[in-house]
Amino acid sequence: MAFKTLFMAHAPDADYEKHTSTIDTGKYILFTVIVKSQEEAVKVSKDMYEKEGIHAITLCPGFSHGDVAEIFEVLDGKVSVNVARGDVASSKVVQSVIQREYFNK
């Protein structure tokens, strides 16, 4: 049985049905999905649990503590929900790029 995990990130132009990929080593399956909103993140999380039986979810740093809690709660605590966060210096490296690409167009 493979360990199955989902990585989700936000992008304002995402189409969660289109912007997805899967890597399968046999022992580890990594699903990636880019979502536009928290509502889509919740939907994708529930769908992936029901259809694929995922064991864990890793979220990009753009998810808030409340977002993480909501996803954990809708999955009844049956899936580990984690956030990939860097230190302050690392966050500053990408902050200007995300601001420019996501919000200043």
How confident is the model over 20-71, as pLDDT tens digits?
Answer: 999 999 999 999 999 999 999 999 999 999 999 999 999 998 899 999 999 9
Q: Is the dihedral of CA 37, 69, 82, 79 positive or negative?
A: negative
Contact indicator for 61, 9 with CB cutoff of 8 Å:
no
The three-class DSSP label of residue 31 is: strand
CATH fold of 3-103 reads: Rossmann fold (3.40.50)
* Rounded Cα gap, residues 19 and 65, in angstroms: 24
Q: Is the dihedral of CA 77, 82, 83, 86 positive or negative?
A: positive
- Domain positions in the chain are 3-103
Mean per-residue pLDDT of the chain:
92
Categorise residue 53: left if φ over 0, alpha if ψ from -120 to 50, beta otherwise: left
